[in-house]
Amino acid sequence: MKQRKCQGCKQTKDADLMYKITREHISGKIFLNPNSKILGRSAYVCKNKDCIKQMLKKKALRNALKTSELSEIEQELFKYCY
C-alpha cells in the first residue's frame, strides 16, 4: 500500500486514509485530488480535524506545495474545522 506523510501529525500512513491535495502543475491552482487525476505537486493529510488544524496552523500545506498564497482549499478546510 502507498504510504504518505501527513502534513498535520507528520506521521506516515496509508495514503487511502488521507486527503490528497494537489497544486496543479499548469494552472498553479490547488485542488482536492481524490482520484489523482490532477497532475502536480501533492501533499497529504489524515482525514481528521486535528491533523487538518495542525496543518493549517503551521502553514504546512503551503510549504509542502511550495506556494505562499492562501488557497480556497485552505479556507474551506478552515471552515470545516472551526
Which chain residues interact with Zn ion by CB under 5 A? Answer: 6, 8-9, 46, 51
Q: Are strands 3-5 and 12-14 parallel, antiparallel or unpaired?
A: antiparallel
Q: Select 8 or 31, whichever has its Cβ closest to Zn ion.
A: 8
Q: Select 6 or 65, whichever has its Cβ closest to Zn ion.
A: 6
Q: Select 9 or 81, whichever has its Cβ closest to Zn ion.
A: 9
The one-letter code for the residue type at 19 is Y
Query: Which run of H or E residues covers position 22?
Result: strand 18-24
Closest approach of Zn ion to the CB of residue 70, in Å: 21
Report the Cα 66 to chain-centroid distance in Å: 12
